[in-house]
């Protein structure tokens, strides 16, 4: 296998794929990459469309790449203008998408077409390839060849998922009858995962150089069904990309994914998500950030790049796998006797609304700001339904969705 990782480029016509060697060095803001074979073409474009090409005569190796501006001159000669600083290559690692996601060929094809076709044609090919694990059961096997330390961090990461999603997902060792399962192994190159249940055996690669509990938590998140948080279509409301600090060839790592592949389900943007890049991801300059949190996040002291499941991660898992049943366990149990008739005395542990939305923690001010006193009315560092002071008709909570500030909970009150 070549030392260069191959890249896949899809033409607008979607008629052919060209493999390119991955080049990580960019000098003078110039794209240094070359197509394989005679007279091949390298697709280059701005953020919204592919519109420029460079014809290369031969395969260039890493050492062959020019640092004297000759590539700029070649481009200017062919196109009558200079290669702009914000021009970047719209392609992904042929194996990995956004650094650590391995897409199946069909999903990759659809994503590339989405990138280049007008909206009406996009609707014709819309297809969601993400699948949920049946019954929330995720069988797995750990390759015996993995080093002891790698096995240890994998088990720690699985334990973390179990602890926070035990009422929703079931992680267990593969049994002979399991057709679909995850295999943790080392492909010798990188840490990566596939998104959602693919079918049959699917892999999560954990190499020695990236074997940490946080990385494995993140990769399991992909297998559960998550893309990257910062790939949401609305991310520009919450973060800024400092493209001047990102290598042009790496800017594709920050692409926003079409709605049909990444669905926030109305839940708030999650800075704290285990699926969010950190502030220095793919930085071209050591110590220079590539992502900056906007005022909305700074106001609530948001942090990005954490590698533990956030409260919103857990809320979305429960929504994805329908783990907030209606009627709720409280409603099935019968009515709640309230002395005041409004349920202000309720101290149970129902933590989602009558439509199945996970509640926001009373101790937090995101996504919804409030001024509730945590020392009164049974409030605290939890997200259980309450009716502080009896100001509403029955127990309720703030929700974890952006456009739904609060809702009543599925708790029936006995008639007085």
Domain with residue 249: its CATH number is 3.40.390.10
- Of 277, 303, 320, the position where a domain reaches its end is 320
- Of 197, 224, 251, the position where a domain reaches its end is 224
Distance CA 392, CA 398 (A): 13
**Is residue 336 domain-resident?**
yes
- Of 224, 246, 264, the position where a domain reaches its end is 224
What is the predicted pLDDT for the residue at 150?
95
255 and 170 part of one domain: no
What is the predicted pLDDT for the residue at 357?
97
Distance CA 35, CA 7 (A): 10
21 and 109 part of one domain: yes
Distance CA 146, CA 267 (A): 37
CA distance to 24, 140, 144, 177, 403, per residue, from 90 (Å)? 15, 35, 38, 42, 33
What is the predicted pLDDT for the residue at 180?
95
What is the predicted pLDDT for the residue at 97?
61
Residue 137: strand, helix, or coil: strand
Distance CA 219, CA 199 (A): 17
From the list 219, 288, 330, 354, the catalytic residue is: 219
- 214: buried, middle or exposed (CB in 10 Å: 19+, 13-18, 0-12)? middle
140 and 189 part of one domain: yes
22 and 97 part of one domain: yes
Strands 40-45, 50-56: pairing is: antiparallel
**Is residue 176 domain-resident?**
yes
pLDDT tens digits along 36-80: 222 223 333 333 332 332 233 222 222 333 333 443 444 345 444
140 and 103 part of one domain: no
In which domain, by residue range, is 183 found? Answer: 134-224
What is the predicted pLDDT for the residue at 110?
57
Strands 137-142, 92-93: pairing is: unpaired
12 and 120 part of one domain: yes
Q: CA triplet 312, 304, 222: central angle to 5 degrees?
A: 60
**Is residue 129 domain-resident?**
no
36 and 93 part of one domain: yes
The reply to whether 219 belongs to the active site is yes
Q: Report the number of distinct structural domains present in the chain.
A: 4
307 and 217 part of one domain: no
Task: Kindly state the tokens that stand for 397.
Answer: 């909570």
What is the predicted pLDDT for the residue at 227?
87
Answer yes or no: are the C-beta atoms of 311 and 274 closer than 8 Å. Answer: no
Q: The dihedral of CA 304, 308, 311, 313: what is its sign?
A: positive
What is the predicted pLDDT for the residue at 86?
27
pTM of the predicted model over 0.95: no
- 118: buried, middle or exposed (CB in 10 Å: 19+, 13-18, 0-12)? exposed
**Is residue 377 domain-resident?**
yes
Write down the residue that tokens 């995720």 correspond to.
138
**Is residue 1 domain-resident?**
no
Half-sphere exposure of 166 (CA within 13 A, CB side): 5
Comparing CA positions, the residue from 327, 173, 287, 305 lying closest to residue 229 is 305
Task: Kindly state the tokens that stand for 193.
Answer: 């995962």
20 and 75 part of one domain: yes
**Is residue 233 domain-resident?**
yes
The phi and psi torsions of 209 (rounded to 5 degrees) equal: -75, -15
148 and 241 part of one domain: no
Collect the ranges in the chain with pLDDT lower than 70: 1-99, 104-130, 259-261
Q: Name the β-bridge partners of 173.
A: 140
239 and 286 part of one domain: yes
359 and 396 part of one domain: yes
pLDDT tens digits along 88-125: 222 334 466 666 777 766 566 555 655 554 443 332 22
What is the predicted pLDDT for the residue at 260?
65
**Is residue 272 domain-resident?**
yes
Answer yes or no: are the C-beta atoms of 50 and 43 closer than 8 Å. Answer: yes
Q: Name the β-bridge partners of 205.
A: 185, 192
Half-sphere exposure of 343 (CA within 13 A, CB side): 24
Q: Is the peptide bond before 25 cis (omega within 30 degrees of 0)?
A: no
**Is residue 114 domain-resident?**
yes
- For residue 409, give the CATH number of its domain: 2.40.20.10
């Amino acid at each position: 296998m070549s030392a260069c990782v191959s890249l896949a480029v899809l033409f607008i016509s979607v008629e052919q794929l060209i493999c390119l060697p991955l080049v990580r060095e960019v000098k003078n803001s110039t794209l240094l990459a070359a197509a394989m074979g005679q007279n091949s073409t390298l697709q280059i474009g701005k953020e919204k469309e592919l519109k420029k090409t460079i014809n290369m005569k031969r395969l260039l190796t890493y050492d062959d790449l020019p640092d004297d501006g000759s590539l700029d001159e070649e481009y200017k000669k062919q196109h009558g203008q200079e290669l702009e600083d914000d021009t970047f290559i719209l392609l992904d690692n042929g194996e990995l998408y956004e650094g650590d996601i391995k897409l199946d060929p069909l999903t990759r094809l659809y994503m590339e077409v989405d990138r280049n076709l007008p909206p009406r044609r996009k609707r014709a090919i819309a297809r969601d390839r993400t699948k949920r694990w049946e019954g929330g059961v995720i069988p797995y096997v750990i390759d015996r060849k993995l080093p002891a330390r790698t096995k240890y961090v994998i088990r720690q990461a699985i334990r973390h998922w179990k602890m926070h999603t035990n009422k929703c997902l079931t992680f267990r060792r593969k049994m002979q009858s399991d057709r679909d399962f995850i295999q943790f192994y080392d492909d010798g190159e990188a840490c990566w995962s596939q998104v959602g249940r693919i079918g049959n055996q699917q892999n999560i690669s954990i190499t020695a150089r990236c074997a940490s509990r946080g990385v494995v938590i993140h990769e399991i998140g992909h297998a559960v069904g998550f893309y990257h948080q910062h790939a949401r279509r609305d991310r520009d409301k919450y973060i800024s990309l400092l493209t001047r600090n990102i290598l042009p060839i790496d800017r594709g790592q920050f692409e926003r994914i079409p709605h049909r592949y990444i669905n926030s389900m109305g839940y708030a943007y999650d800075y704290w998500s285990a699926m969010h890049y950190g502030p220095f991801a793919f930085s071209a300059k050591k110590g220079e950030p590539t992502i900056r949190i906007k005022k909305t996040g700074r106001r609530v002291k948001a942090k990005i790049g954490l590698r533990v499941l956030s409260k919103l991660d857990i809320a979305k898992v429960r929504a994805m796998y329908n783990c907030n049943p209606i009627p709720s366990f409280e409603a099935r149990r019968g009515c709640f006797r309230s002395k005041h008739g409004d349920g202000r005395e309720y101290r149970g542990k129902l933590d989602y609304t009558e439509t199945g939305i996970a509640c926001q923690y009373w101790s937090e001010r995101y996504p919804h700001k409030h001024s509730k006193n945590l020392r009164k009315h049974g409030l605290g560092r939890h997200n259980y339904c309450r009716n502080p002071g009896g100001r509403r008709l029955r127990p309720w909570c703030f929700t974890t969705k952006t456009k739904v500030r609060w809702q009543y909970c599925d708790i029936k009150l006995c008639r007085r």
